[in-house]
Structure 1
Amino acid sequence: MKKQSNWESILGLAQRAGKIISGEELVVREIRRKKARLVLLAGDASENTKKKITDKAHYYKVPVVFVDNRASLGHAIGKEHRVTAAVLDEGFANKLIAILGQ
């Protein structure tokens, strides 16, 4: 088992606190509701998904951060592969932005 990086640990904490939503449709819904504070997008997501999520996030002024791949994103939140996830808490979002250098 690989050692979790710092951002994965923070994301795991946010997941356990109930402040993460994952899955393309749910993330888009939370962006529209203005609940998403940060969107994480896997680098290996399809171009179509990348465009859909980034366009929606930019329109609603939600920062988007790219992570390595869907496996690491899913692993960080204790689920199967995930292409996208939204952080619903300002504190967790700010910490992740600081760590991921965006």
Structure 2
Amino acid sequence: MVSNSAYLNIIGLANRAGKCTFGEELIVKEIQSKKSKLVLIASDTGDQTRKKLTDKCVFYNIPFFFVDERETLSQAVGKSGRVAVSIHEQGFAKKLMTLLDENNRG
């Protein structure tokens, strides 16, 4: 398995740059307003939250990826209990998509 630390570092950078949003309702609002460029969802997110976020992303044509567990995602941003992250800056979103595409190809 490819090391995921590179994409986690980018999430950390994006967060420190103020380009991330957390919280299901805030992320949904960002998706609806097309402010979100990419949504990352923890692999252990509950079914209801997972469905809500993926349905919104599909409807509004926002790319999304399932990533590590919430613990790993939370550590990357230095906040506990994070199950999803919205990236609202195109540069960070592009870099993350490139890294995640490479990881998902195995």
TM-score, structure 2 length as denominator?
0.90
Question: Structure 2 stretches of 5 or more lacking a match?
Answer: none
Find the counterpart in structure 2 of residue 93 from structure 1: 93
Q: Is the 8 A contact 1:72 1:81 kept in 2?
A: no
Partner of 1:63: 63
Give, in whole Å, the separation in 1 of the partners of 2:18 and 2:34.
17
Q: Give the conservation status (yes or no) of the 8 Å contact 1:75–1:81.
A: no
1:30, 1:49 → 2: CA distance? Answer: 15
| Over 3 Å off, 4+ runs | none
Counterpart amino acid of 2:26? L
RMSD across aligned positions (CA): 1.2
Q: Pick the structure with more helix per residue.
A: 2
Alignment of 1:1-102 (within 5 A): 5-101=5-101
- Report the AA paired with residue 10 of structure 1: I
The code of the aligned residue for 1:85 comes to: V
Tell me if structure 2 keeps the 8 A contact 1:23–1:82. yes
Instruction: Letter of the 1:25 partner, please give it.
Output: E
The alignment partner of 1:44 has SS state of coil
Separation of aligned partners in 1, 2:22 and 2:51: 17
- One-letter amino acid matched to 2:47: E
Identity %: 47
